[in-house]
């Protein structure tokens, strides 16, 4: 499948067949991740492949019981990972200086763009994927589950498998909501109304508002999906973990 | 170009022709970014396109004077961006709760995977790209330059243009250095030696060690490229900026 078509046809898949992924197909996905640009070619990330059914059941619990995790044959957990690099430095008379926030963020960049390469390589081969946002919420539990050493923090997870159904493409805001030319256009009230008009007019949006018994789509995000109290709690847990994994020593 | 070939043929391009990028080609790149999965379809990122020569000269200074910035016709700065979303919430009787670290990281994920989609869409159309790691180092200066409001933090930049030359594919560590099956394999000394053997045996590596007048490749990273003092300084600046842009209120 050509690259632009793969990208433009992306759908998040939340319902999977239980069919296994052939080894060569999964190897292509992993190879795609490995070919990604990384900072200074340090490759400061890692990927954990979970296929074992019992372990998948444990991850299903950790990731808030999302049913697709039990259906799909493979989970890939992407970590910001300076552990290997630090060990290499220490074995080569070099003193690693990567126990700080910048290094955590650098390693996160490596991990995240590798995850997107894996996503597209999967989709190009007829697989579907879903990113799990619960990875950062539950990073401490994933560290415990995978027994991750210092210098390793999980940043995202991909569910991968053959889609049961292919849903319709989801809406996106018009390009002007995301793209700025030369200067940053700091939206007026009229800009915001115009940019969100189509999204708010969707039948699906009206149905969601009714189901949630709220007044606006924005309230579904602020009250139900990503409420402040939850974000504050998970911020604290995630920052504590980043510190615990040795990225805030300086 | 088919997706796997695009991914496997990625090279970082550091030397560009000054030829402009046709509008439809650049629009395809931006559309690819926009089609990326985002957390809850909130699209909490933004992209700033820089084509103006005078503004490119300013960015050239900010990004440590890397010459390719003057050659290439376009720079794309990717931001973690809750500003638009927050404004929308406030206009819709919803109280945004995104002034915390988790929300910053969520928005960074959106921005970074969008950047990788843009990268592949560029490469599929014959363009070359280079990620600028200096973006996080100089995030405060970029905020000043672009006059970025609260809720916006630059996380990466792509230089985009037609390559002057196509360099050879660069080496990668063997897959076992990055991929773990079921459990995390916490490398032994022998593992590290085996995984880095080929990289360390490259003629290019030997030349680099000689040029840097050091003893090991690892020392080039720890002493010259990414030394501790620099990482510590930029960690402080980046964390201060994340706070200043309103992501550490809770």
Nearest CB to B52; choose among A96, A109, A182 = A182
Asked if A10's CB is within 8 angstroms of B34's CB, the reply is no
Q: Give a yes or no: residue A246 inside a domain.
A: no
Can you give the pTM of this predicted structure? 0.98
Looking at residue A57, its pLDDT comes to 98
Listed in sequence order, the DSSP H helices in chain A are 3-8, 23-34, 53-62, 68-71, 83-91, 101-124, 134-137, 139-146, 189-201, 203-211, 217-219, 228-242
Using the predicted structure, report yes or no on whether residue B235 has a pLDDT greater than 90: yes
Looking at residue A129, its pLDDT comes to 98
Apex CA A122: angle with CA A118 and CA A123, to 5°? 120
Chain A CB contacts of B235 below 8 Å? 100-103, 250
> In the block, which residue shows the tokens 């018994």?
A213
Q: Is residue A120 exposed (0-12), middle (13-18) or buried (19+ Cβ within 10 Å)? A: buried
The first and second tokens of residue B185, run together, are 């394999």
Using the predicted structure, report yes or no on whether residue B170 has a pLDDT greater than 80: yes
Using the predicted structure, report yes or no on whether residue B245 has a pLDDT greater than 80: yes
Q: Tell me: the pLDDT tens digits for B4-57?
A: 999 999 999 999 999 999 999 999 999 999 999 999 999 999 999 999 999 999
Looking at residue B75, its pLDDT comes to 98
Asked if A108's CB is within 8 angstroms of B183's CB, the reply is no
Q: Measure A72 CA to nearest chain B CA, in Å.
A: 15
CA atoms within 13 A on the CB side of A148: 30
Contact present, B166 and B125 (Cβ < 8 Å): no
Q: ipTM score of the complex?
A: 0.98
- Among B10, B6, B9, B13, which residue's Cα sits nearest to residue B132? B13
Q: Give a yes or no: residue B185 inside a domain.
A: no
Using the predicted structure, report yes or no on whether residue B215 has a pLDDT greater than 90: yes
Apex CA A8: angle with CA A4 and CA A10, to 5°? 120
The domain of A12 spans 3-167
Chain A CB contacts of B34 below 8 Å? 172, 175, 178-179
Asked if B148's CB is within 8 angstroms of A219's CB, the reply is no
The first and second tokens of residue A97, run together, are 């200086």
- Among B40, B59, B38, B57, which residue's Cα sits nearest to residue B48? B59
> In the block, which residue shows the tokens 């008009």?
A197
CA atoms within 13 A on the CB side of B63: 26
Looking at residue B190, its pLDDT comes to 98
Q: Measure A82 CA to nearest chain B CA, in Å.
A: 11
Q: Measure B62 CA to nearest chain A CA, in Å.
A: 15
Q: Give a yes or no: residue A203 inside a domain.
A: no
Contact present, A88 and A151 (Cβ < 8 Å): no
Chain B CB contacts of A36 below 8 Å? 7, 10, 116
What is the domain-level CATH number for residue B83? 3.40.109.10
Give the model's confidence band at B62: pLDDT under 50 very low, under 70 low, under 90 confident, else very high.
very high
Nearest CB to A196; choose among B30, B88, B109 = B88
Nearest CB to B95; choose among A2, A28, A222 = A222
- Tell me how far apart the alpha carbons of residues B209 and A145 are, in angstroms, rounded to a whole number: 40
Alpha-carbon Rg for chain A in angstroms: 20
- Among A101, A154, A136, A152, which residue's Cα sits nearest to residue B186? A152
* Residue of chain A with shortest Cα separation from B169: A35
**What is residue B180's three-state secondary structure?**
strand
CB atoms within 10 A of CB A11: 18
Looking at residue A111, its pLDDT comes to 98
Q: Give a yes or no: residue A100 inside a domain.
A: yes
Looking at residue B130, its pLDDT comes to 98
Asked if B40's CB is within 8 angstroms of A133's CB, the reply is yes
Tell which of A89, A178, A225, A241 to mutate to test the B interface (max B CBs under 10 Å). Answer: A178
Looking at residue B1, its pLDDT comes to 74
Chain A CB contacts of B51 below 8 Å? 181-182
Mean pLDDT for B103-113 is: 98
Asked if A30's CB is within 8 angstroms of B175's CB, the reply is yes
Asked if B133's CB is within 8 angstroms of A49's CB, the reply is no
Residues in chain A: 250
The residue ranges of chain A whose pLDDT is under 70 are none
Mean pLDDT for B193-221 is: 98
Q: Give a yes or no: residue B38 inside a domain.
A: yes
* Run of H or E including B49: strand B45-50
- Tell me how far apart the alpha carbons of residues A144 and A77 are, in angstroms, rounded to a whole number: 13
Listed in sequence order, the DSSP H helices in B75-152 are 83-91, 101-124, 134-137, 139-146
Tell which of A1, A39, A50, A102 to mutate to test the B interface (max B CBs under 10 Å). Answer: A102
Q: Tell me: the pLDDT tens digits for B132-146?
A: 999 999 999 999 999
Mean pLDDT for B207-232 is: 98
**What is residue A180's three-state secondary structure?**
strand
Number of domains in chain B: 1
Using the predicted structure, report yes or no on whether residue B110 has a pLDDT greater than 90: yes
Asked if A183's CB is within 8 angstroms of B7's CB, the reply is no
As a whole-number percent, the residues of chain B with pLDDT over 90 amount to 99
Looking at residue A1, its pLDDT comes to 74
Q: Give a yes or no: residue B151 inside a domain.
A: yes
Q: Measure B109 CA to nearest chain A CA, in Å.
A: 7
Q: Measure A70 CA to nearest chain B CA, in Å.
A: 16
* Residue of chain A with shortest Cα separation from B98: A228
* Residue of chain A with shortest Cα separation from B95: A222
Q: Give a yes or no: residue B58 inside a domain.
A: yes
Q: Give a yes or no: residue B238 inside a domain.
A: no
Asked if B170's CB is within 8 angstroms of A32's CB, the reply is no
Looking at residue B16, its pLDDT comes to 98
Asked if B46's CB is within 8 angstroms of A179's CB, the reply is yes
- Among B177, B187, B18, which residue's Cα sits nearest to residue A87? B187
**What is residue B163's three-state secondary structure?**
strand
Chain A CB contacts of B175 below 8 Å? 30-31, 34
Nearest CB to B3; choose among A94, A121, A227 = A121
């Amino acid at each position: 499948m050509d690259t632009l078509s793969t990208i433009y046809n992306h759908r998040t898949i939340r319902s999977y067949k239980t069919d296994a992924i052939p080894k060569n197909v999964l190897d292509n996905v992993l190879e795609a991740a490995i070919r990604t640009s990384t900072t200074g070619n340090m490759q400061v990330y890692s990927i954990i492949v979970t296929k074992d059914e019992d372990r998948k059941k444990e991850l299903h619990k950790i990731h808030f019981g999302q049913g697709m995790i039990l259906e799909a044959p493979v989970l890939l957990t992407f970590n910001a990972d300076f552990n290997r690099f630090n060990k290499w430095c220490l074995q080569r008379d070099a003193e690693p200086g990567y126990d700080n926030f910048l290094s955590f963020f650098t390693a996160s960049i490596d991990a995240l763009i590798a995850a997107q390469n894996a996503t597209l390589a999967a989709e190009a081969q007829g697989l579907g994927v879903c990113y799990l946002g619960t990875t950062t919420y539950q990073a401490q539990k994933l560290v415990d589950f995978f027994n991750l050493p210092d210098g390793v923090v999980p940043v995202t997870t991909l569910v991968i498998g053959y889609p049961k159904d292919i849903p319709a493409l989801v809406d996106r805001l018009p390009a002007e909501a995301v793209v700025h030319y030369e200067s940053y256009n700091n939206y007026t009230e009229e800009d915001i109304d115009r940019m969100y008009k189509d999204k708010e007019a969707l039948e699906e949006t009206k149905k969601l508002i009714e189901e949630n018994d709220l007044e606006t789509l924005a309230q579904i995000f602020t009250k139900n999906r990503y409420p402040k109290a939850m974000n504050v709690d998970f911020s604290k847990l995630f920052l504590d973990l980043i510190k615990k994994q040795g990225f805030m020593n300086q």
